[in-house]
């Protein structure tokens, strides 16, 4: 049996409760990533300078990481995306600089970190 327990129309995150015949249960979280990835790609190819968001280059919008990807990273790599620890942030920079996760970047050039 499955039932919807939450939906955020802004982020597209849907949460479902699954109850199994053996009495166990699971919560499924899913998200349509298409709008976010399309926006990231548009920003990557916009021709806008990478430092355009901060004016003087001190602040840059380098990536948009959807909630479900943050959850996936926590399961795969064992860290919380919001952890301010410099070692964790360095791991995130490394992931965002990799080809595997490049579709999360909003800037095209350079590497993070």
Query: Has residue 3 got a pLDDT over 70?
Result: yes
For residues 55 and 94, membership in a common domain is answered with yes
**Distance of alpha carbon 25 from alpha carbon 15, whole angstroms:** 13
Same domain, 43 and 26: no
Residues 104 and 58 in one domain: yes
101 falls in which pLDDT band (50, 70, 90)? very high
Q: Please tell me whether residues 9 and 41 are part of one structural domain.
A: no
**DSSP per residue over 75-109, as a string?**
HHH---TT---HHHHHHHHHHHHSSTTGGGBS--S
The pLDDT score that the predictor gives to residue 46 is: 82
- 89, 102: one domain: yes
Return the pLDDT at 53: 60
Cα(96)–Cα(40) distance, integer angstroms: 12
| Count of domains for the chain | 2
Residue 47's pLDDT is 74
User: Which ranges constitute the DSSP H helices of 1-85?
Assistant: 34-44, 67-77
What range defines the domain where residue 3 resides? 1-31
Does 5 share its domain with 43? no
Tell whether 26 and 77 lie within a shared domain.
no
Q: What is the pLDDT of residues 9-34, one digit of tens each?
A: 888 899 999 999 999 999 999 999 99
pLDDT in tens, 30-87: 999 999 999 999 988 887 765 666 556 566 778 999 999 999 999 999 999 999 999 9
């Amino acid at each position: 049996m499955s039932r919807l327990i939450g939906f955020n129309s802004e982020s597209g995150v849907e949460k479902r409760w699954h109850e199994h015949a053996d009495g166990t249960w699971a919560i499924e979280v899913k998200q349509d990533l298409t709008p976010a990835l399309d926006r990231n790609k548009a920003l990557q190819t916009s021709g806008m300078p990478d430092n355009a968001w901060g004016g003087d280059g001190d602040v840059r919008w380098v990536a948009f990481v959807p909630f479900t990807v943050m959850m996936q990273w926590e399961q795969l790599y064992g860290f919380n995306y919001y952890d301010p620890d410099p070692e964790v942030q360095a791991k995130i920079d490394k992931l965002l600089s990799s080809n595997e996760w490049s579709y999360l970047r909003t800037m095209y050039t350079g590497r993070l970190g």
